[in-house]
Amino acid sequence: MLNSQFPIPNAQFPMLNSRCVRVCQNRTCRKQGAKSVLEAFEALPVPEVIVTASSCLGQCGNGPMVLVLPDMVWYCGVRSDEVALVVEQHLVGNEKVMQMLYKRFHSGDGK
C-alpha cells in the first residue's frame, strides 16, 4: 500500500492508460530540427500524454523521429509546423497521420 508521504512521480510512473511521445534528440535528429519539434510538442500539452526527449531511436537519417507509445506509431521527418496535426489527429483524435508514418515500420498501414 502506498503512503501519501511517498507520492509516485508521474514522469517516472505514468498512468497505465497514458501515451508517451518520444522525440529523438540525438545528433542527427537534432541537426534535422528535433529540438524545435520537441518544443512544439511541449507547447501543445494534451491530458494524459507525456512528451519526452529521447536518446537515439535507431533510425538515423530519417528524422526527426517521433515515437508514440504504447501505440508503437513511428513518424519520420517531423517538422515543428506539423506537430499540431499529430496532436490534433493522433493524440486527440486517435487517428494516425498517414502521410507522416515511417514506412519502414508501417508499410502495410492504410490498406
Q: Could you tell me the mean pLDDT of each successive run of 10 residues in the chain, 111 residues long?
A: 43 65 97 98 97 96 96 98 98 97 86 47
**pLDDT for 9:** 45
Taking residue 75's Cβ as centre, other Cβ atoms within 10 Å add up to: 26
Cα(73)–Cα(51) distance, integer angstroms: 14
Ordered structural domains, the chain, with CATH: 19-106 (3.40.30.10)
Strand order in the sheet with 73-75: 49-54, 19-24, 66-69, 73-75
What does pTM read for this prediction? 0.82
